[in-house]
Structures are given as structure tokens and as C-alpha cells.
Amino acid sequence: MRLGILSDTHGTLPAEVFDVFAQVDGILHAGDVGDPDLLMELEALAPLTAVYGNTDGPELRHRLAGVAHVEFEGLRFVLTHGDQFGTPTPAALHEAFPDAEVLVFGHTHRPVLELLDRTVTVMNPGSAAFPRGGIAPSVGIMELEAGLPPRARLIPLG
């Protein structure tokens, strides 16, 4: 299984995302979606799991959860925007969700890919449209195979 992971689109979905996500089996959006129509564009590519972020309005907050617990290929995922932690860190997320094997978050607009406790994969795909600190826009790809640790990478856009 191959997952496309993105966050912090704020209503803008760069065309390059469609190319990078062309062969994914599912998509995770870690909040600050911006425009609800953007969800339909992503759903046209693959099944979507999304959460709302701190800048998302009432329509998205009504439609999406703040935290999603999902399972793919036998791995327990937690998807959250992360703003409830101030500036989220892998350690804070792991402490809050100790049973998760994969933690995906957004909010900081800065990509992170880290392994905690040798088994927990933590990913922030960065911002697909509005990165911070001179970093390129980015998304993530995660490949899953039952019984194996996830293989993940960050993909700069543009």
C-alpha cells in the first residue's frame, strides 16, 4: 500500500501533487485544508482521511475530526494537525498517542521524518503550498507492507 501525505494546503493544491500522488492507494491530509473543494479533488485520486487544522472554518470542522485513528496494513496510525500541542514535536505526539505506530501531523509547515523508540514513525509532510523558513513546499509518500516497518520519504515540490 502506498499513501500520499500532505498538510497545510490552506486552499491551494499545487498541480505537482497530482503527479506525485498518481499511484497512491490512500491519502492523508493533516489539516489546514482551507477550501472544502480541495477534499473532493484529493478524493478523486484515492480514498482520503483528513483532519481539520486550526485555520479551518466551521464547514470543515463539522465534516472532519480533529484527530483520526486509522489502520493500514496492520499499523495503527494517528493523524492530527498538532496545533493542540502548541508547536508539536515527535516526542509530544508519541507521549499523547503511545499506542500509535505511525504519527502524522502538520501545523509547523516544516517537514519532519523521524523514528522514535526504533518502531514509531513520525512524519510531518511540511506544507504543500506555503512552507516556512525558506524550505521548498513538500509532501510525503509512505509505503506499507504487512509485517514490515513503513518506508517513508519527503518529496520537495517545485
Q: Residue 117 pLDDT > 90, yes or no?
A: no
Q: What is the DSSP letter of 40?
A: H
d(CA 151, CA 40): 27
pLDDT score, position 158: 84
* CA-based torsion, 126, 130, 135, 137: positive or negative: positive
With a cut of 90, say whether residue 118 has pLDDT above it: no
Q: What is the DSSP letter of 99?
A: T
Write out the three cell numbers for 86: 502548541
Which pLDDT score, from 0 to 100, does residue 124 have?
Answer: 98
- Residue-wise pLDDT tens digits, 140-156: 999 999 888 999 999 99
Residue 134's DSSP bridge partners are: none
Spatial separation of the C-alpha atoms in residues 38 and 92, rounded to whole Å: 29
Give pLDDT tens digits for 48-104.
Answer: 999 999 999 999 999 999 999 999 999 999 999 999 999 999 999 999 999 999 999
Tell whether the torsion through CA atoms of 35, 68, 155 and 46 is positive or negative. negative
| pTM tops 0.75 | yes
Backbone Cα Rg of the chain = 14
Statement: residue 2 has pLDDT above 90: yes
Q: Which domain holds residue 99?
A: 2-156
Indicate the length of the chain as a whole number: 158
Cβ atoms of 126 and 111 closer than 8 Å = yes
Site of grid cell 507492507: 145
Give pLDDT, residue 40. 96
Instruction: Please tell me the total count of domains within the chain.
Output: 1
Longest dimension (CA), the chain: 39
Q: What is the pLDDT of residues 119-139, one digit of tens each?
A: 899 999 999 999 988 999 999
Phi, psi at 27, each rounded to 5°: -130, 140
- What CATH number did the domain enclosing 97 receive? 3.60.21.10
Distance from chain centroid for Cα 73: 17
